Amino acid sequence: GQQLNQSPQSMFIQEGEDVSMNCTSSSIFNTWLWYKQDPGEGPVLLIALYKAGELTSNGRLTAQFGITRKDSFLNISASIPSDVGIYFCAGQGVTGNQFYFGTGTSLTVIP
């Protein structure tokens, strides 16, 4: 199965710093999705992107759908302790209704 390349694997940052993570794929996608997962819980959808070049914000989060349709990035500005968790990217394939996932970026925010 296809797996997306997500980087970095982990990040340790000071509270107030900005964060950036990205995902790349060898295939093009119709949709890029970004999730956050807290321990013991299911992934929660943060942002959905539908068109190449699209830039979308959700509060302090900003994500972009790459122009080639093979990549996406997520930025978190002015990080706070509750941003701690694992962030996943996902892409919806161009045929059918299947989704493919990155292996996640573990974010630690140091107060």
Partner 1 sequence: DAGITQSPRHKVTETGTPVTLRCHQTENHRYMYWYRQDPGHGLRLIHYSYGVKDTDKGEVSDGYSVSRSKTEDFLLTLESATSSQTSVYFCAISEPGLAGGYEQYFGPGTRLTVT
Residues of this chain that interact with partner 1 (CB under 8 A) are 1, 3, 30-31, 33, 35, 40-45, 48, 50-51, 88, 90, 92, 97-99, 101-104
What CA–CA distance (Å, rounded) separates 81 from 110? 7
Question: Closest distance between partner 1 and the C-beta of residue 106, in Å?
Answer: 11
Question: Closest distance between partner 1 and the C-beta of residue 31, in Å?
Answer: 3
User: For residues 77 and 93, which CB has a smaller minimum distance to partner 1 in the complex?
Assistant: 93
Q: Are 72 and 65 in contact (CB under 8 A)?
A: yes
Give the dihedral sign, CA 17/13/60/104: positive
For residue 81, what are its two tokens? 């302790």
Question: Closest distance between partner 1 and the C-beta of residue 83, in Å?
Answer: 19
